[in-house]
Amino acid sequence: MKIWKKQAVLVWLVILVTMMTSKGGEAAIGVNWGTLSQHRLPATKVVDLLIQNKISKVKLFDADPEAVNALRGTHIQVMIGIPNDFLSILSSSSIAADSWVRRNLSAYVSSNPPADIRYVAVGNEPFLTSYSGQFQSYVVPALLNLQQSLVKANLAASVKLVVPCNADAYESTVPSQGAFRPELSQIMTELVSFLNSNASPFVVNIYPFLSLYGNSDFPQDYAFFAGTNHPVIDGPNVYYNAFDGNYDTLVAALNRIGYGQMPIVIGEVGWPTDGAIGANLTAARVFNQGLINHVLSNKGTPLKPGAPPMDVYMFSLLDEDSKSTLPGNFERHWGIFSFDGQAKYQLNLGLGGGLLKNAMDVRYLPARWCIANPSKDLSRVSNHLKLACSAADCTRLNYGGSCNGIGVNGNVSFAFNSYYQLQKQDVQSCDFDGLGAVTFLDPSVGQCRFLVGIINPSSSHGLRGKWTIIWTLFFSGSIVILLQVK
């Protein structure tokens, strides 16, 4: 009996190691878990959702304590992010780097049960053209300080530093001529040399949707994976989709500086479901399923045949209704699940879990909505609309959105309800000087869904999960201490 138990334990360990380790030459699918939402699903529910869908890799954009604590003991591999605003401090202070590692890595890795933190993303797209070099000089010094901190904490062997880059860091007319932007040439050489010496991959975010969104001449079928009438001919290589072309442009850029064999991780890739022309459920399902099938086929690309990306992190797990809409209204609608953990469309992640499974036991507010009062004149509604939409998410109402065509009364009702649910259905929040009315009949129309808020006992506005910087004066000068407010 004892021998049988030992064998059972051994079998379990083998299975566990297999689950936790990517097979050589095969890509692994993970997800980005962003938390910029006013209707935030409890972290424990999100982790249950990951487990239920057999998702074993997750990327966070900061070291949010609620999220990291919920991931402890799950064997889900975690990439923790450091916001760009921290790079300046971390680049100039080894003490700040030590503090960050101690509080946000050591505290979780050494806890019982531990969090399986594999990567730290130092900044997020810090070389983005629109930042005009704001963070550029901080990246490598921050990496060097953090690496020293990892060594001091005995974490350098298990936790790797990476820098997620936007695809605009490199450029070319055809993939084989790929090169990093001239102003990034030196810093990219330093970065890639650092990554290579520490066995870290190059992380890149690739978005064919943005190519289509920003260029009316971009062939629509080239953004997907079903073939195209507009292939890119590059000598002996033919590219039938934008993802492969973009990926190989990076491969060529890395090869140009002597690191063509460096492993590559896709930090973000996906397709939004709302907020713009071309952002819809059908297109998102076709793109994401095509991408997953393409990557898991292990065919690779013309410049890297049989060698797909090391990992691919889908963007994203959940919608985030507090994200900036500066790039476009679609920014709040990238989730493969809606804010409440319900699958938006049928998708097989190729992880053995079949089609997406919904979050279970989600607690909703009562089934009631705020709509425009049908007996009132709405000619004075504009200021109320501005109030509602300045606080709540109204991006579905804009051109290309799923609620754009539901008429004036419908638009007013959608805005009123969005604000009402944000205020936890407080009766006064549906008044709008008598122009609003509460209804128990769902006013949703077609794909225009009028939401009902969820109950998250742990959520609160303000500083929860946010970072603050405290300056402490000592005898010899200023010491920066990074704290995370819980």
Rounded CA-CA distance 20/15 in Å is 9
- Per the residue annotation, which of 26, 66, 125, 183 is the catalytic one? 125
Beta carbons of 213 and 224 less than 8 angstroms apart: no
Express each pLDDT in 367-423 by its tens digit.
999 999 999 999 999 999 999 999 999 999 999 999 999 999 999 999 999 999 999
**Lowest mean pLDDT, pick from 349-353, 379-383, 473-477:** 473-477
State residue 372 phi and psi, 5-degree precision. -65, 130
In the structure, what pLDDT confidence band is assigned to residue 26 with cuts at 50, 70 and 90? Answer: low
Q: Is the dihedral of CA 426, 428, 430, 432 positive or negative?
A: negative
Integer angstrom CA distances of residue 310 from 166, 195, 204: 17, 15, 11
Query: What tens digit of pLDDT does each residue of 460-470 get?
Result: 443 333 343 33
What per-residue confidence (pLDDT) applies to 459?
55
316 preceded by a cis bond (ω within 30 of 0): yes
CB 281 within 8 A of CB 345: yes
Q: Is the model's pLDDT at 25 over the cut of 80?
A: no
Domains of the chain: 23-332 (3.20.20.80), 369-439 (no CATH)
- Report the alpha-carbon distance of residue 301 to residue 329 in Å, rounded: 32
Which residue's entry shows tokens 């129309």? 445
Predicted pLDDT of residue 478: 39
Number of residues written out for the chain: 486
User: Would you say residue 4 has pLDDT above 90?
Assistant: no
For a pLDDT cut of 90, what percent of the chain falls above it? 88
Number of other residues whose CB lies within 10 A of the CB of residue 440: 8
Residues 297-313 have pLDDT tens digits of: 999 999 999 999 999 99
| Residue at token pair 């260029």 | 215
- Give me the DSSP letters along 363-414: PBPPS-EEEE-TTS--TT-HHHHHHHHHHS--GGGSTTSTTTTSHHHHHHHH
Which residue has tokens 């938006």?
Answer: 344
68, burial (CB in 10 Å: exposed 0-12, middle 13-18, buried 19+): buried
Residue 161, Ramachandran bin (φ over 0: left; ψ between -120 and 50: alpha; else beta): beta
Q: Which of 66, 268, 320, 331 is an active site residue? A: 268
The yes-or-no answer on residue 125 being catalytic is yes
Helix (H, G, I), strand (E, B) or coil at 478: strand
Least Cα distance to 297 among 22, 23, 26, 21 occurs for 26
Neighbours of 24 (CB within 10 A): 5
Neighbours of 201 (CB within 10 A): 18
Supply the pLDDT for residue 466.
Answer: 39
**Catalytic residue at 66?**
no
- The whole-angstrom separation of Cα 47 and Cα 71 is 6
Rounded Cα–Cα distance for residues 268 and 31 (Å): 8
**What is the reported pLDDT for 326?**
95
Burial of 287 (0-12, 13-18, 19+ CB in 10 A): buried
